[in-house]
Amino acid sequence: MPTADSGQLFPGKKFISTVLEALETKTAMLSGEMRRRYLQRAAMAGIIIGVFYLINYTVIAGFVQVDPGLRPIGRLVGGLAFGWALVFIYYSKSELLTSNMMIVSIGAYYHRTGWIQALRLLGMCFLGNFIGGLVIALIGSMSSLISGDVLVEVLGSVSHKLEYVSAGPAGWADLLARAILCNFMINIAMLQVYNGLIKEDITKCLVMVVAVFVFAFGGLEHSVANTVLFTVAGFRDGIDIGLAMGNVGIALIGNYIGGGALIGFYYAYCNDDSRYREIHSSID
């Protein structure tokens, strides 16, 4: 009796193997001298997000200066510009918390890492991302980059994000849903980049740009981007730390559900051929 090709039944095996190789590299960096290097790579991701997020608000402010009615166009163009942040992070080999949520979940499913080690990796990554945002906040506070209409856009965005927390349970649910969809988009893009089917770099770039554009233009919530934004705004104009921490906390939970569960665990299970191999080896 002929059997189906395992590669056709489980077409995401390349994706899984690539992720597990990436996880092995990341976990190897969490000891000794390499821990500092890992923190630096995570900090660079925070810096990249900070720069591109400010450009997003600068673009919006530019359209508003021409005509307030052009603000939706500014958001569209700004979102496309911000979309390149993920491309820069990917090709500079920087470490971003939200994509690592998917990676450690797949590693945990296949028993390549324990949850304590996974949380340690995510904690180090988040710390590095925060340090990178802090660097941008310090640089921004010494310049006029965040002033005028740009500052108005930044503070307006911060106020809107904090309102999710102050609004109570309905706002928390809204924030959680937006965070889930945000990291779903980020990691569905990384799945396509890692799965080996896309060969051309320009196509990989477009996939990542579109995914980030959807989250930026759609008003979805990214825990790291929010952390960087709140840090920048806090240095420039002050911020309610309690509300900011509440926003980031809920966004972290939602991001993990969207990237760790809906992408990580989902595709780890879909491409687990161990049971299939057991059945057919017993038949043979």
Residue 64 in contact with residue 198, Cβ under 8 Å? no
Q: Is the pLDDT of residue 196 over 90?
A: no
Mean pLDDT of the chain: 92
Contacts of 280 (CB under 8 A, 6+ apart): 3
Over residues 192-196, mean pLDDT: 91
Write down the pLDDT at residue 223. 97
What pTM does this model have?
A: 0.92
CATH code that applies to domain 12-271: 1.20.1080.10
User: If you ran DSSP here, which 8-state letter would residue 166 be given?
Assistant: H
pLDDT, tens digit (0-9, with 9 covering 90-100), for 152-191: 999 999 999 999 999 999 999 999 999 999 999 999 999 9
Q: Give CA–CA dist 17/30, Å, rounded.
A: 21
Q: 67: helix, coil or strand?
A: coil
Instruction: Return the SS3 of 8.
Output: helix
- Please tell me the predicted confidence (pLDDT) of residue 1: 39
Q: Tokens 């919530």 label which residue?
A: 221
Question: Is the pLDDT higher at 1 or at 192?
Answer: 192
Q: Is the per-residue pLDDT at 5 higher than 60?
A: no
> How far apart are alpha carbons 16 and 28 in whole angstroms?
18
